């Protein structure tokens, strides 16, 4: 039952070339930076990443992106990540953009063993009809585009069929975790961390505070240990290192 692994490097040692990763994070909140850095140091390439975004300010997945280690990204937005946009438009990267709520539900569905579900989000757009550019040729042409999806009416309302997402691995970050893998997430980091964790066939969690089993009230557990396979305790300086994306100061 003790799922603690000594180092981040050991925790991701079997993440091989071409692996698919569900990576948690909402902007800069709840990003498993130590695990991402360990994957980077390992030299793994051709990764297929599923995440809300692809890092920012040179942190998180932006580290792997800048090193050319990512082959495909499934995300909800590009945002202010200029390198992400450049690689996408130049044809260096395949990108599947998904409505944010649909992405969240696809991860949750995959983790719950639900192969597909219907949603009204995207009906009447290229999300359902197909044609969204997934890969460009570098000269403005589209090499790969999204295929059309099945649609069906429920109570007179059209819905589009979306597939659940399962990945080889999931990388997440928690504020607290015990040796059995039960996790507690802080504030906005709870947005995508539980969902990404559920989607992974092998889920690795870095935790800011490692506690003994029983120290977390069962009612306070955000994600039960059944979804977590490996736990890495962060060093105090790693736990405290948090970036601010946009600093606002009021007088």
Sketch out the chain's domains with CATH numbers: 8-111+164-240 (3.40.1080.10), 116-163 (no CATH)
- Interval 50-92: pLDDT, tens: 999 998 878 899 999 999 999 999 999 998 899 999 999 999 9
Which among 151, 214, 207, 156 is positioned nearest to 184, based on CA atoms? 207
**Residue 242 confidence class, pLDDT cut points 50, 70, 90:** confident
- Interval 109-119: pLDDT, tens: 999 999 999 99
- pTM here? 0.93
- Provide mean pLDDT across the span 182-196: 95
Asked whether the predicted pLDDT for residue 9 surpasses 90, the reply is yes
């Amino acid at each position: 039952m003790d799922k603690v692994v000594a180092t981040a490097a050991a925790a991701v040692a079997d993440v091989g070339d071409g692996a698919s990763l569900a990576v948690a994070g909402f902007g800069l909140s709840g990003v498993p930076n130590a695990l991402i850095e360990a994957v980077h140091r390992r030299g793994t390439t051709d990764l297929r990443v599923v995440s809300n975004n692809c890092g920012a300010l040179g942190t998180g997945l932006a580290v792997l992106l800048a090193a050319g280690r990512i082959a495909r990204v499934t995300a909800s937005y590009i945002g202010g990540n200029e390198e992400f946009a450049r690689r996408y438009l130049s044809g260096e990267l395949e990108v599947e953009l998904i409505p944010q709520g649909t992405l969240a539900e696809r991860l949750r569905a995959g983790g719950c063993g639900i192969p597909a579900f219907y949603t009204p989000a995207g009906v009447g757009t290229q999300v359902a009809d197909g044609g969204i550019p997934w890969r460009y040729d570098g000269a403005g042409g589209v090499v790969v585009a999204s295929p059309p999806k099945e649609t069906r009416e429920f109570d007179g309302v059209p819905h589009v069929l979306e597939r659940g997402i399962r990945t080889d691995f999931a990388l997440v970050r928690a504020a607290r975790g015990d040796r059995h893998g039960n996790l507690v997430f802080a504030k906005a980091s709870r947005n995508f961390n539980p969902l990404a964790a559920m989607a992974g066939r092998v889920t690795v969690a870095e935790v800011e505070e490692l506690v003994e089993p029983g120290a977390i009230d069962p009612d306070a557990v955000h994600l039960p240990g059944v979804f977590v396979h490996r736990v890495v305790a962060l060093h105090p300086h790693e736990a405290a290192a948090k970036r601010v994306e946009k600093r606002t100061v009021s007088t």
